């Protein structure tokens, strides 16, 4: 596999990974720790943790704060996808390499939501009220954003003619 083919394939894989990460559980939250009742009481779990995904978070924001929902939609959904698609266009020679600075800005904007979510987890754990567990989707989403950022820095895009 050539050196220029691998970054192209990774970037195209991110176009698939990002939507998966949007629906994957990022964190599990609850006011109280989950408790499983004994079998003679039904064996059900009470105070179960609620899974939060990027999409469920945006849906909740639409009900309470439309401006913030628009901002999060841009930072979490549109910026990473536009960055991957823009980089793919540059990598396949369909867009001028002069567009790379704009694509890099999109990558930095996509990192903003990782910072905000991490800040929420730290604050929630620091207060000590309720339970916050990090789920596998947070690692997937963070890894996709970081991989996308690294691709824009070292992505093997064709260089401009001299």
pLDDT tens profile 102-159:
888 887 887 666 666 666 666 666 666 677 788 999 899 888 888 887 887 776 554 4
Residue 55 belongs to a domain: yes
Question: Looking at residue 28, what is its pLDDT?
Answer: 86
- Confirm whether 109 is domain-assigned: yes
80 inside domain: yes
Predicted confidence at residue 156, as pLDDT, reads 52
| pTM of this structure | 0.75
- Name the helix (H) or strand (E) containing 133: strand 131-134
Q: Does 92 reside within a domain? A: yes
pLDDT (0 to 100) of residue 158? 46
Q: Give the domain extent around 72.
A: 5-153
Tokens of 161: 């003619």
Task: Supply the pLDDT for residue 120.
Answer: 67
Domain membership flag for residue 41: yes
Is 159 inside any structural domain?
Answer: no
Contact 137, 21 (CB under 8 A): yes
- 162 in a structural domain: no
* 16-20, 54-58, 123-127, range with the lowest pLDDT: 123-127
Summarised one tens digit per residue, pLDDT across range 62-106 is 888 888 888 888 888 898 899 899 989 998 999 999 998 888 888
Confidence band, pLDDT 50/70/90 cuts, at residue 24? very high
- Structural domains of the chain, count: 1
pLDDT, mean of residues 34-48? 75
> What percent of the chain is modeled with pLDDT above 90?
18
On whether residue 67 sits in a domain, the answer given is yes
119: exposed, middle or buried (Cβ count in 10 Å: 0-12, 13-18, 19+)? exposed
Give the whole-angstrom CA distance, residue 79 versus residue 140.
17
């Amino acid at each position: 596999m050539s050196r220029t083919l691998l970054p192209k394939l990774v970037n195209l894989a991110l176009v698939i990974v990002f939507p998966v990460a949007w629906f994957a559980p990022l964190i599990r939250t609850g006011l109280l720790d989950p408790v499983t009742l004994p079998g003679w009481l039904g064996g059900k779990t009470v105070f179960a943790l609620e899974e939060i995904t990027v999409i469920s978070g945006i849906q909740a924001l639409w009900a309470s704060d439309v401006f913030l929902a628009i901002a999060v939609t841009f930072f979490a959904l549109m910026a990473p996808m536009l960055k991957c698609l823009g980089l793919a266009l540059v990598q396949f020679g369909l867009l001028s390499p002069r567009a790379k600075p704009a694509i890099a800005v999109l990558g930095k904007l996509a990192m903003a939501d990782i910072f905000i979510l991490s800040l929420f987890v730290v604050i929630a754990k620091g207060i000590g009220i309720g339970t916050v567990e990090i789920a596998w989707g947070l690692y997937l989403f963070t890894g996709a954003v970081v991989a996308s950022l690294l691709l824009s820095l070292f992505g093997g895009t064709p260089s401009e003619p001299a």
